[in-house]
Every structure is written in C-alpha cells, then in structure tokens.
Amino acid sequence: MAYENLYLPEQTTIGGRYLIGNVIDANGDGVTYMAFDTERKSTVEIREFLPDTICIRKEGSTHLLIKQDKKLFYETCLNSFLDMWRKLARMRGLSALILVIDIIEENNTAYAVCEHMEGTVTLRDYLLSASEGYISWEEARILFMPVLSTLSTLHSAGIIHRGISPNTLFVGPDNKIRIGGFSIPECRNVSTGIAAEIFSGYAPVEQFGVKAPSGPWTDIYAFAAVLYRSLIGTTPIESTERMTNDRMMIPAKFAEQIPAYVINALINALQIMPEDRTKTVEQFREELSASPTAAIAADYEPEPVSSPAPAATPETISTPAPPKTPKKTAEQVKKENMSLALKAGGIAAGAVILIFIILCLTVLRGHFGGGGDTPEEGPTLNPDVTVSVPTFTGRTYASITSQKSYFTDFSIVKKEEYSTDVNRGYVISQSIEAGKEVPQGTEIEIVVSIGVEQIEMIDVSGKTFEEAKAMLEEAGFENISKVTKTNDGSHTSNTVESSRQTVGELYDKTEKIALIVYSEAETTTAAPVEG
C-alpha cells in the first residue's frame, strides 16, 4: 500500500460486530486484517477492498474517497470483488477452501469475512522447513491432489485465481492445503490501473501483457510451477524469460526419483503459450495420476495418427493384443532423462526420448476423450464383401470413432467397464479377434475402460484399526495401511485418530488409505528404592 493511513484504525467496528485488529497482508486490490467476531467470540480474518491507486481514506475516517476520474473503474472493480467473494461464500464444504462467513458493504467499499485457521503456515514456509527444501512425489501427491478438486470447482464457477503460488497456498495443522490469496483479475495482470501482484516464477506469460487469453490453463501453469518447486526445491524460471531463453531443467537426481508420467504432466502444464498448455484441471489430474499414458510414449514406437500406439501401464501391458516391439522401458527413460528442459515446443534438444514422449502425448491428446460419440453413419450391410477386423484393443475409443470407415465396415457396440490395469478411454478387449475376415456390417463389441472405480472416503475416526480396516474394505478400498502416532496416555491405543484422505472425497479403490492410529501409551517405570 502507498499510505499506511489507508488502513482502518485498530478497534474499528465493521458490520456492527467485527472488531478490526492488525494488518496481516495487503496488495493492489485490498488489505487483510486480523479481527474479532464479538458475537461468536472467535478470531476471523477480514479482507477489505482497498485499491490504493484509485482511492484515499482521510485520517480519522473509515469512509473511502474515490479519485474523480476513477469512479467508473472503481465501481467495476468493486463489483468484481463482490462477485468473486459471493461465489466463494456459496462454496461451503470444499476441503481446500477457507470458509467465507460474511460479506459486508459499508464505508463506500466491501468486506469479506473468513474463518481464521490457527496454526496454518504458507506452503513456502512448509517447504523451507523440510530438511532438504523439497518433498518427495509421494508426499506431494497426498498434499496436492485433493486441491485439484477444489480448483476445478472454482473454474466451474468462473473463478480463475491467477495467483497460485507457495505464498497463497496454506498448510494447516491437519496437513492439508487450502487455497488463499484471492484477488480480482485486475490485480493479477500488468497495466490494468491497479497495482499488480504477480508471483515471479509462478505466473504464465498471459499475465505479463502477452496477447494471449487467460483461463483455467492460467491456474494450471501456476499450480504445476508450485508442484515443480515442491519436488525440485528451486523456483521455476520466469515465464517471460523462458520465451527467449528457456533454461528450466529437471536435474538428473530428480528425474530418476519422479515418476515419468508426473514429468510428462509437468511438461504439458508448463508449456509457455496457452494454446500448447494443458487446458483443464481434469486433464492435468488425469495426467498426474495416469501412469499408463506415460508408458505409451516410453515403451512403443509411434504409429500414424490414424492408428495410435497401444496403451500400457508401467507395471503391466494389460491388453490381450500382441504388443509392439519395445523401444525403451519406463525405467530406462527415467535413467536417460539426465536433464529435462521444459521448452515452449517441448524439451531441450538432446533429450530426444522426451521429445518423443511429447509428440506421442500430443497425438493422444488429439484423440483421447474417454468416450466419444459413434459417427451417425451406420455400416454398409453387404455380406458378400469381407473385411479384416482391425486391432481395437489398446487404442482409445476416441481414436476409433475418428475413423468413419470402421463404422461403415462394422456395427460397433461399445460396452464400458471399470479397470485397474487399463487407462480410462482405452479399449480393454474386442469380441472378434484382430485380423479375422468377416462379412461387412458384422457386429463387434468393444469393451472400453472407464478407469479405476472411485469410492467415497468414509469417517473411521474413533474406531479400532481392525474395525476401520474392515469398514473401508467393505466400502471397496483394497489397500489399507497404518501410520502410528505417539500416544501421551490420553487416547485409547490402536484407535484411529484420522486418515490422510479427506472424508467425503472420491479416491481410486486401489488408493493407499493411510490411517493414523494411536500407539500404546508410553509408561515410565519408577526406579527401585534402596533400603
């Protein structure tokens, strides 16, 4: 802020019930105060709309005065502020959002009142407190993946954060991340008339005046940059610098530790230009968890666009059709990935195998849809003409539907099944084997994977580990583990305190469910008394 007297004096009352305390944070669109709710007798945080470049507050007054030539712009921005916070207030129950309690309009401005979570730290401080300044993918996966559901909901409501960074993500005492630091779009783009708050290394080029649209992909870039920082330990290079000299690297020791499909997801999400970048949170989440997709590019030679390579998982090739001649295993790819450079068009020259991955994934992106509609034309029924059955197994259903000739030669019936081995959207099997000659118009049933079945996490706190394990297995989860927590004697041993998964959220049935269980109470033995 330009002038401290813009802030409300301490002890000011807002909305007849909130007592203003000290300033926590401020940027171009406002200031956040610690405050006290006199009705609920609890600490809260209050965000005041206060764009310092277009308004003033006279000393001793709480009322904002708007510069004469900025009144229309101020009203536009104020409405943007109110619209954003009203939408956030309606999003109750999202695990990665702090609760919005109240919205107040007074003093010629507006205020958003939020709950205060004691004991939270910024992700930046959380990472700095890690022994090596970064965390493993396993820890990052538990921290970050639940946040993507909330981010997707924000995007569906028309809210693009534009400021995701280690400074605006907060880790609570429950070891869960929550999204904070919301500001209006004018505060997160340069040259708008409001002082811009743009987080270096985490903001994509469209926030720096480059003529490119903002959208969900803007947050995806920032989220991927945060994930990069968390896994590698260094802040990514500024996106504008990467346009002319892209030197973003993944050092060899990290390339060997991070799963290949996670690297692929980062590559796609950190593309410099928006049109090349991952477009939706759902796609990003799928790539972060869909190791079979990564294995396609790593294990097989490319085929023409009209006939994509078979799908495979890193552990097994689950399709019954004969596989192509292996090119390299996923492990070999990781070992050869000594220095990954994230370029606008792909990866630094020299990392040939990873350029290959990008090209293959681009082909798959164009065809992967997990479903797709069957073309309207039906088969040409001509029993006197025979046709050879193609290989459908191992291909995406979307790529099959893009080939209209299949639907003039065959009557294709789609059936969907859950699969723990075959990635969503890929064909598990076909009713007639590839290569067989059949009359034109023959019906062929193809079974398409809809991925791993997802199950809602249930609350098992307070149960014994055995009871909790039985409940979770009955719900459908297959992998239950125990994490022991020290017992100070105030808890019953072998009871579940909580789980690392969020109650009410959906997880793959194969997800490793970690239950935090109290250990036996520690006891001390008194020393014998000498007679």
Are 442 and 471 members of one domain? Answer: no
Q: What is the DSSP letter of 461?
A: T
Identity of the residue numbered 269: A
Query: Kind of pairing, strands 169-171 and 177-179?
Result: antiparallel
Token pair 């779009």 is found at: 185
Where residue 170 sits, what CATH number does that domain have? 1.10.510.10
Model pTM score: 0.58
Using the CB atoms, write b or e for 372-382: b if 16+ within 10 Å: beeeeeebeee
DSSP letters spanning 395-437: SBHHHHHT-HHHHHHEEEEEEEE--SSS-TTBEEEESS-TT-E
To the nearest 10 degrees (0 to 180), the angle between helices 216-232 and 137-156 is 170
Closest alpha carbon to 413 in 389, 388, 448: 448
DSSP letters spanning 92-137: TT-TTBPPEEEEEEETTEEEEEEE--TT-EEHHHHHHHSTTSS--H
Q: Is residue 397 part of a domain?
A: yes
Largest CA distance in the chain: 109
Where residue 505 sits, what CATH number does that domain have? 3.30.10.20
**Distance (Å, whole) CA 25 – CA 249:** 33
Q: Is residue 333 part of a domain?
A: no
Given a contact cutoff of 8 angstroms between Cβ atoms, the answer to whether 331 and 299 are in contact is no
Are 78 and 159 members of one domain? Answer: no
Are 101 and 154 members of one domain? Answer: no
Digit-by-digit pLDDT tens for the chain (531 residues) are 344 568 999 999 999 999 999 999 999 999 999 999 999 999 999 999 999 899 999 888 999 999 999 999 999 999 999 999 999 999 988 889 999 999 999 999 999 999 999 999 999 999 999 989 999 999 999 999 999 999 999 999 999 999 999 999 999 999 999 999 999 999 999 988 899 999 999 999 999 988 888 999 999 999 999 999 999 999 999 999 999 888 888 888 898 899 999 999 999 999 999 999 999 999 999 999 874 443 343 333 333 333 333 333 332 222 233 333 343 344 444 434 434 444 434 443 334 444 444 444 444 444 333 444 444 445 656 667 888 999 999 887 877 876 777 888 899 999 999 987 787 778 999 999 988 999 999 999 999 988 888 898 999 999 999 999 999 999 999 989 988 888 888 899 999 999 888 888 888 888 889 899 999 886 654 445 444
Task: Calculate Rg over the CA atoms of the chain.
Answer: 27
**Backbone φ and ψ of 59, nearest 5°:** -60, 135
Which of these three, 397, 427, 449, is where a domain ends?
449
397: left (phi over 0), alpha (psi -120 to 50) or beta: alpha
Are 402 and 473 members of one domain? Answer: no
Q: Measured between alpha carbons, how far is residue 321 from residues 55, 180, 285, 309 in Å? A: 69, 49, 28, 12
Are 98 and 134 members of one domain? Answer: no
**Distance (Å, whole) CA 159 – CA 84:** 7
Question: Per DSSP, what are the bridge partners of residue 444?
Answer: 412
**Backbone φ and ψ of 376, nearest 5°:** -65, -35
Taking CB atoms within 8 Å and a gap of at least 24, the contacts of 130-136 are 132/233, 133/233, 134/229, 134/230, 134/231, 134/232, 134/233, 135/230, 135/231, 136/231, 136/257
Are 202 and 224 members of one domain? Answer: yes
Q: Is residue 370 part of a domain?
A: no
Using the CB atoms, write b or e for 158-192: b if 16+ within 10 Å: ebbbbbbbbbbbbbeeeebbbbbbbbbbbbbbeeb
Sign of CA dihedral 230, 231, 237, 239: negative
- Give a three-class secondary structure readout of 144-195: HHHHHHHHHHHHHCCCCCCCCCCCCEEECCCCCEEECCCCCHHHHCCCCCCC
Q: Is residue 208 part of a domain?
A: yes
Which of these three, 72, 95, 115, is where a domain ends?
115
Question: Per DSSP, what are the bridge partners of residue 438?
Answer: 387
List alpha helices for 243-329, DSSP H: 252-257, 260-269, 281-289, 291-299
Are 160 and 219 members of one domain? Answer: yes
User: Which structural domain, as residue segments, surrounds residue 511?
Assistant: 454-518
199 C-beta neighbours (distance < 10 Å), count:
20
Q: Is residue 283 part of a domain?
A: no
Q: Is residue 284 part of a domain?
A: no
Q: Is residue 274 part of a domain?
A: no
Are 84 and 108 members of one domain? Answer: yes
* Residues 6+ away with beta carbon under 8 Å from 367: 305, 308, 396, 398, 399, 402
Are 96 and 21 members of one domain? Answer: yes
Question: Per DSSP, what are the bridge partners of residue 430?
Answer: 446
Are 393 and 459 members of one domain? Answer: no
**Distance (Å, whole) CA 266 – CA 263:** 5
Are 30 and 129 members of one domain? Answer: no
Which of these three, 449, 479, 503, is where a domain ends?
449
Token pair 């330009």 is found at: 2
How many folded domains does the chain comprise?
A: 4
Q: Is residue 476 part of a domain?
A: yes
Are 154 and 222 members of one domain? Answer: yes
